[in-house]
Structure formats: C-alpha cells, structure tokens
Structure 1
Amino acid sequence: MCTTIIVDYPQGSVMARTLDFEVPLEYNMIYIPRGFHYADDLYHKPMRSKYKMMGMCFRNLCPIKDGVNEHGLCGCTNMFIANNLFSNHPVEGKINTNSLDFMNFALGNYKTVEELLDDLDNIHLANKDVDGNSVICPDFHFMFVDRTGDSIILEYKDHRLVPCGDNPKVMTNSPKYSSHVKRYEKSIGDLSKFNQIKDLTGAYDPVSRFIRAKYILSTHKKSNNVNEAYSSAFSILEPLKITEGFFKNDSHDYYTFTRYISAFDTQTASMAVRTHSNTQTYLIDFDDIPDENEIFSYYFENKLEFKRINKG
C-alpha cells in the first residue's frame, strides 16, 4: 500500500514515496559505493555497482527500496501483486537477476531513463537461479525519473519488463498503470466541473490512492526550485499516509501504516526523509558520506523532535 509521485520544477524533478508496511520493520538509509558487491546474479556471479547510490533499505540490508545515484537517476519499488510475473529460470546471455536486487542494478549501472530502456531487452528477472533453487523475488513494479525529466514505470508482459505510461507521475500498486489511468479519467471527468471537496475519494485502496495522488499533484501549486519541490512532495503525500492503528492486518496480527516518506532530487542527487512519528526532515547528499569508498548507514530518530523558541 505505497504511493509514489514525481514533482517537477524548472531545473529537475523530485520523486517521493510513502512506504506502507504490515509487520514490524526496521529501516534506514544506506549508501553503496562504486564497485561494491551488493548481490550475485542468477548464475552466482557477483553484481557490482558502477555508480554510487543511496536510498532506503530494510534491516540495513543492501537491496534499496527507493533511492538515487550520483547522476541523479531516481528509482522506487512498489508492490504489484499479480500472477505469473516472472520466469522460473535464467536465460544465458542476459543480465539475470531477481526483482529484489533490480533497483540496485538499475541505479548502479544507468545514468538516465533512456539508457535503462535501451538495455531493457537484455535484462531478465527470474524467481529461480541456474540450479533451479528459488530466490527472493517480490512482486514489484518500478518507477524511475532522471535529470532530463524523463520518467517511466516498468511492469511485466510475458515475463519481460515493459515500459508503461508517457512520462508517468504517479504509481501505487496493482492493477496495471493503464487501468489506473482509465479509472482516474472516469472518476474525475471534466476537471472544471469536478467538486474535489465533496467527490475526491478518501479511500486507501491502490486505485483510490492513485486517483487522489494524481488529482492533488495536478492541482498543486507549481514548484520553482528544489526546496519548493521537496516541500510540495511532502505536502502532497501527507493525505496519502496511513496512520498507525487505522488499518488492522489480521493475517499478520499487526497494523499496516506508513513507516516513512522519502524523497529524491535529480539535480542535487540528494534525498530527504521523514519517519512516521517524527516530522523532522532529514536531508542527505553524497557530500555527507564520510568515506565514499565504504558502505555507510544512517538511522533516523523516530521520536518526535521539537525546536524550542528562545524564551530569553
């Protein structure tokens, strides 16, 4: 139950997302240096990053869920539950990996969306390795944006990654992107006649969140610089957050809620994060990394932080 948006401004774009999860979760920021061995491919060969990247991860493990590389390519994973998405075997001559490690591969090897799309036919995602052993391969789809403003969503057709949308700006979960767009157009209709105060959906299913996010994004005031784009991204996603205790997930005997909102800028190659219980905004860029040649982690404060005024 995650929502991702892209806020454009004249010099670049900010990609931002809510991370909604249904079980207890530890998360943190992680930096991965150039040349780092972050995973093995499905032939058990090491996969290494060509470019520096940083983003959010779970339990300080390498797979990045949402992040940015040193060239400003930003990417995000969202759940995309569907049947038979992946092949059950690697293909010789292709780049063979799983959906869990694909974001690291993309951010670690491409500068732009165009580069990624040009190489898409060479990329093969599968849920079993060369020995027939199952690998972790979540039902993810992916969104990317680069410094030129090009954006894309990657979904699946016949076990292949395929691009969706014409510079898409919103991604939630299943169903496929084209279905979301059709339902948005049916729900909103003529913008000039739409009564958003009364008729804009407030539900939290993927279709409703897509409609709400796309409408709020399309009507929000335009951003003139990166600071305004960051501010807009957090403002737009606030109505998409799921509060703690709102939704009981019986299958896990726990609550599904928004753990963090993260945002990434294409021009400054920076990231900003707010946790679910702390409105303090943390800003990180590659200059903040203590040693660019070493992996680095940062853990955010989850307790609400106050700034006291000077009482004199």
Structure 2
Amino acid sequence: MLRALLATVSIIATVNASYACTAVDIVAADKTVIAGRTMEWAFDMQWTLVSQPKGTEIALSAPAELKLPTITVPTKYAVVGVSAAIIPGGALLEGQNAAGLGMSGNFLPGFTQYQAVSKTDKSYVSILDFGSWALGNHASVADLRAALPTIKVWSDDSLPSGPTPPTIHFVFTDRSGDGMVVEYVGGELQIHDNVAHVLTNAPTYDWHLLNTRNYLNLTTIGVSSREISTANVTALGQGGGLMGLPGDFTPPSRFIRAAFMRHNITPPANADEAVQAIGHILNTVDIPLGIAQSTDGKEIVSDYTQWVAIKDLTHNTLKIADYAHRTTFVTLDLNTIFAQEKPSAVLVEKLPYPAAVDGTSALKN
C-alpha cells in the first residue's frame, strides 16, 4: 500500500511540473460556438500556423519494426492549425476544419500510454499524424467518435517529438456544441463527454471531474454582512463567495478556475460576446514569464503562455496572439484560406499583429 501511495505521489509531482495548457468552449444564445485555448511551454517550439487544403495526403504509418505498409489517404476537409516546426512533419496540436470541427491537444504526462499496434492491424496512425487525420477526415464530434475505435494510435521512441515525449490528450468541439475528450490510458482508448467544457493537463479528465466536488462551496454571491454580537460586520468588497478558488497554475487548479468561470459567467448573446467571454476566462490562466518555474538539471526554466487561440467554429474565424502581442489578436477569415488549393505556413510570432490604436485625439481640445 505504501509503495503504491509513493508511486502515485511521484506521478503527481511529475505532473505538477508539466507543461500547462487550458482549453475552454462556450455556446452563445444565438448558437455560435467559440472554443479557445492557451499554449504554455518552456522552450521555443517554433509554433507555426499552417493551412492544409482539402486533399492533403496524410501518411498513416505503423511502428517501423512491424514492417506494415504506410497507407496514404487524402483529406476530406481543409484544415488550419498550429504545429511545432521543431517536430519534423509538423504535428498539429491545435486546429479547426472547414466543417466546423475544432481540436486542442493538451499534454498529459505520467498518465498517457498509447495503443499497441499488431501485425494483424489494418488501420493505424502515429500520434504525430493524429491531429491532421482527425481534423482532415471528420466533420463532427459524432463522426470522429465513431471512427476512433477503428484505428490504433501509437507512439514510440523513434518518433521525432522534440524536447518532450508526445503524451497528449485532446478535446474536440464542433459547431453543434458537441464536445468530447480523447485520452489513451493504459494502452486503451478513453472517450469522455466534455461536460465541463474545459480541459487542462494531468491527471486524466475523470479525475478532474471528481476533484470538482471539493469546490461545491464556491459561489458568485458573497455574504455582504453579518451580525457578530452587537456589531454589523460588512464585507470588504465583492467576490467573497470565491474564497477557496485555487489561484496557482497547476493543472487541477486551472481546471477548477476555468470551469467555475465558464459555468458562471454571464451567458453571451452572440459571437462577439462569446469571444470576449472566452478571452476573459483564458486571462485567468495566462502565465507570465518567470512565474511558473522548474529546474532542468542546473537550469531554471519558465513555463509561460506562448500563444492563445480563439476559434469561432460557426463562422470559421480564428483569433490568435503570441506572448509579445497578448492584447492584440490577429483575426483570420478561414473560409478564404480554406478555399485555397495550396498549403501555406507562417510562424505565429511573424503574423501581422495590429498596433495599438492611438486614442489621444479623443481627449484633445
């Protein structure tokens, strides 16, 4: 028992030092679906915004030692997403397709074990090609949910995954508002309805849902005053109902903070309000440089929010901002990009971010 407890503590300690990502989605009263996410990392991953037109060929391969054939399939849907150029082939960790299916991949270290491919398997894909396969060939969460049990998703040390192993779980959302979380635990596929409309990192999604029971006391309405003996003691300000809301940047705390905000924010009426709602929620988990640090040998490294993306899955638009332009998003009309027949790519940091508007004239006499 003690050995098992210590093993669990060791895993959680590793998780708490892991890379931080937070994804949130919301549906406006007019049925617009907005899904946003932050991407935190401690290294320069050369994040690249890429366009994969309809018909892009995806190579579905198996581990080399099995000597199984690589199957090449053309995609059914155009995709725009974000990949890490440091990884050969550019694995998608974020994106949306022309049919309104969106994806965010968040790291799940310590808990992810992908599936084992056997020599008798006919359908397989490496984790590095999974994002392009999922978005390129499925129109909705329901479509992808039906397809996942038919394909083996694998990873091994031969994959060029950059400075960290590709231990990832995914949240998918479509323009109907349907959402699911996809994890690979113990070599088995796990699919969860995204009832929280939030995903962070480790532990697994079901653990995060159980953990929400520790915060049932949280409320948006605080106690304004209380009679103590003969004194009427008043609150110092608003927000007292949130005493106990975790403020650190560990995955469990970010999950609780984002989920509370998501389910208690004033419901948005339309796309603009939904984008603003998601932006405000993501602001509560934004990590500045120097705040979330860990040691890598003798070197101190800092996890920080390298970029933020907000997807309008209903109208096919994307807003994105890197660390240096956190308050000035670039907006892309994806329908125009989807109509292109050639792939394209640009570093996220090289996007044409707008300059701040000079409002001096508003107060000039």
Alignment partners' CA distance in 2, 1:301 and 1:246: 21
**Do structure 1's residue 145 and structure 2's residue 173 form an aligned pair?**
yes
Alignment partners' CA distance in 2, 1:125 and 1:290: 27
Q: Which amino acid aligns with 1:229?
A: A
DSSP 3-state at the match of 2:284: helix
Among all aligned residue pairs of Structure 1 and Structure 2, give the percentage whose two residues are the same amino acid.
22
Aligned counterparts, 1:13-162, within 5 A:
13-42=33-62, 43-59=69-85, 62-83=90-111, 85-90=113-118, 92-128=120-156, 134-135=158-159, 136=161, 138-162=166-190
* Residue 308 (structure 1) aligns with: 358
Work out whether residues 22 and 200 of structure 2, in 8 Å CA contact, stay in contact via their aligned partners in 1.
yes
Work out whether residues 76 and 142 of structure 1, in 8 Å CA contact, stay in contact via their aligned partners in 2.
yes
Alignment partners' CA distance in 2, 1:167 and 1:49: 29
Work out whether residues 218 and 245 of structure 2, in 8 Å CA contact, stay in contact via their aligned partners in 1.
no
Alignment partners' CA distance in 2, 1:150 and 1:211: 21
- Structure 1, residues 63-91: CA drift from partner, whole Å, max 9, x if none? 22111000000011000113561234356
* Distance change (3 Å), C-alpha of 1:127 and 1:291: same
Work out whether residues 90 and 96 of structure 1, in 8 Å CA contact, stay in contact via their aligned partners in 2.
no
Alignment partner of 1:276 out of 318, 323, 332: 323
DSSP 3-state at the match of 1:289: helix
DSSP 3-state at the match of 2:329: strand
Alignment partners' CA distance in 2, 1:290 and 1:54: 8
DSSP 3-state at the match of 1:119: helix
DSSP 3-state at the match of 2:243: helix
Work out whether residues 55 and 75 of structure 2, in 8 Å CA contact, stay in contact via their aligned partners in 1.
yes
* Distance change (3 Å), C-alpha of 1:178 and 1:300: closer
Work out whether residues 23 and 36 of structure 2, in 8 Å CA contact, stay in contact via their aligned partners in 1.
yes
- Structure 1, residues 3-46: CA drift from partner, whole Å, max 9, x if none? 11111113231111110001123213111011112444224332
* Residue 7 (structure 2) aligns with: none
Work out whether residues 218 and 243 of structure 2, in 8 Å CA contact, stay in contact via their aligned partners in 1.
no
* Residue 342 (structure 2) aligns with: 294
Alignment partner of 1:4 out of 23, 30, 34: 23
Alignment partners' CA distance in 2, 1:41 and 1:23: 28
Q: CA deviation at 1:183?
A: 1.1
Bigger Rg, structure 1 or 2: 2
* Residue 259 (structure 2) aligns with: 214
* Residue 260 (structure 1) aligns with: 307
Q: CA deviation at 1:57?
A: 1.7
Count of residue pairs the alignment pairs up: 308
Alignment partners' CA distance in 2, 1:304 and 1:244: 22
CA RMSD of aligned residues (A): 2.5
Alignment partner of 1:169 out of 172, 197, 206: 197
Alignment partners' CA distance in 2, 1:146 and 1:78: 18
TM-score, length-normalised on structure 1? 0.89
DSSP 3-state at the match of 1:29: strand
Q: More displaced, 251-260 or 207-216?
A: 251-260
Alignment partners' CA distance in 2, 1:90 and 1:272: 41
Alignment partners' CA distance in 2, 1:210 and 1:270: 26
Alignment partners' CA distance in 2, 1:243 and 1:190: 26
- Structure 1, residues 162-207: CA drift from partner, whole Å, max 9, x if none? 2113544000011111111111121234647774443211011110
Structure 1: runs of 5 or more not aligned: none
Work out whether residues 15 and 145 of structure 1, in 8 Å CA contact, stay in contact via their aligned partners in 2.
yes
Alignment partner of 1:233 out of 278, 291, 307: 278
Structure 2: runs of 5 or more not aligned: 1-19, 63-68, 223-239
TM-score, length-normalised on structure 2? 0.77
- Structure 1, residues 69-117: CA drift from partner, whole Å, max 9, x if none? 0000001100011356123435644431122221111100100111111
Q: Which amino acid aligns with 2:141?
A: V
Q: Which amino acid aligns with 2:252?
A: V
Work out whether residues 94 and 122 of structure 1, in 8 Å CA contact, stay in contact via their aligned partners in 2.
no
